[in-house]
Structure 1
Amino acid sequence: MDAYRFPIGPFHGVPNPSPQQRMEWMEEILGLAPALRQTVHKLTGEQLLTPYRPGGWTVQQVVHHMADNDMNAFLRFKRALTEDAPAAGTYREDLWAELGDYRMPLEPSLALLEAVHQRFAGLLRTLQPADYARSFVSPTHGALSLDTALQRFVWHNRHHTAQIASLKARMGWA
């Protein structure tokens, strides 16, 4: 079951990333939404309503969650750049996944991901190396530097896209 839940494995951050690694992650951010769009392309309505694992969210819920998460992550990042170690707000992602907007078509969330990722990459291009040492405090992860937050952002997108791709492979969906 863990292979279904974590098809790329759990998050493991790079403790002291180089400027080159940060640049690679920034560039990868620009490709995350197109990769997700390609992964869900041509899935039927029934397929979108299939959980990626037993007891897990449907593909549709995962995509909408990704948009919600990335908006929140972007705002946490910006707050850490403009405030001293702000407390990051939480949200009940399990309950958000049950709200009516999670039953909408995927396109608004895919477009939102593309827009947030463009804004995030644009922000990252302006940062100085010292900015990545700034932090925020997460109720679930404790103090997180922006170096770690950037890596978690990229991992989170890879993680959920891999969940959907893994489901497609298991089900034999083209």
Structure 2
Amino acid sequence: MTELDLETLKYPIGKFKAPEVFTSEYFLNKIEEIASFPERLKKEVIHFNDEKLDTEYRPGGWSVRQVIHHCAESHMNCFIRLKWALTENNPIIKPYDEKLWCELPDNLKMPIEPTLSLLEGLHFRLAYLMKSLSEADLEKSFIHPENNSEIRIKQIIGMYAWHSNHHLAHITNLKKHKNWD
């Protein structure tokens, strides 16, 4: 496998790029992508057996099961970070090691149904909260200590819509590659 092939498998929809200008149409589209993610994900994986769930989406990558659980963990962190940014003045958030989290027993063996249910409720709350944000709220931010970067709420909305679509593409591309349709 070439480096280019591996990069395409890692980033099937490309890397996240924030728009030059954040418009209300952009936010509405991204919030809709976030709101619809749990249903789109469930549609792709609900009938997977353990063998399919435990298949890596790329060589050396996570299994489908790990990807699903990772999405819930990442998006829970997003929700908490949004709340901090909305209620504190530019807080420093706590990072987590997503690779180590994905190696814990729940990520490796737990059924996906509870996580799919969690994502449904979580994404409803994320979209509800995001739809209620004012222009001033969109400018609020937090500090990510790993690179000391300031991340604004308006960036988070696009980032997590991308993150949802990114991991969904891992699964749909694997299904196509394996002829699982």
TM-score range, shorter-chain basis? over 0.9
| 2:119 is the counterpart of 1:113 | yes
Alignment RMSD: 1.1
Matching residue within 155, 159, 163 for 2:170: 163
2:86 is matched with 81
Give the letter for the 2:119 counterpart.
Answer: L
Gaps of 5+ in 2: 1-5
> For 1:131 and 1:16, how far apart are their aligned partners in 2?
16
| 2:160 is the counterpart of 1:153 | yes
Three-state SS of the structure 2 residue aligned to 1:85 is coil
Residue 115 of structure 1, CA deviation: 0.6
User: How many percent of aligned residue pairs carry the same amino acid?
Assistant: 39
Instruction: State TM-score, norm by structure 1.
Output: 0.96
Matching residue within 100, 104, 119 for 1:99: 104
Three-state SS of the structure 2 residue aligned to 1:10 is coil
Three-state SS of the structure 2 residue aligned to 1:98 is coil
Give the letter for the 1:108 counterpart.
Answer: P
Instruction: State TM-score, norm by structure 2.
Output: 0.92
Q: Alignment length, in residue pairs?
A: 174
2:142 is matched with 136
> For 2:32 and 2:9, how far apart are their aligned partners in 1?
27
2:133 is matched with 127
Moved over 3 A (4+): none
> For 2:92 and 2:16, how far apart are their aligned partners in 1?
22
> For 1:155 and 1:51, how far apart are their aligned partners in 2?
21
Residue 105 of structure 1, CA deviation: 0.4
> For 1:28 and 1:2, how far apart are their aligned partners in 2?
24
> For 1:17 and 1:158, how far apart are their aligned partners in 2?
19
- Give CA-to-partner distance per residue, 1:45-92, whole Å, 9 cap, x none: 101101000000000000000000000011101100111111111111
Give the letter for the 1:135 counterpart.
Answer: S
Gaps of 5+ in 1: none
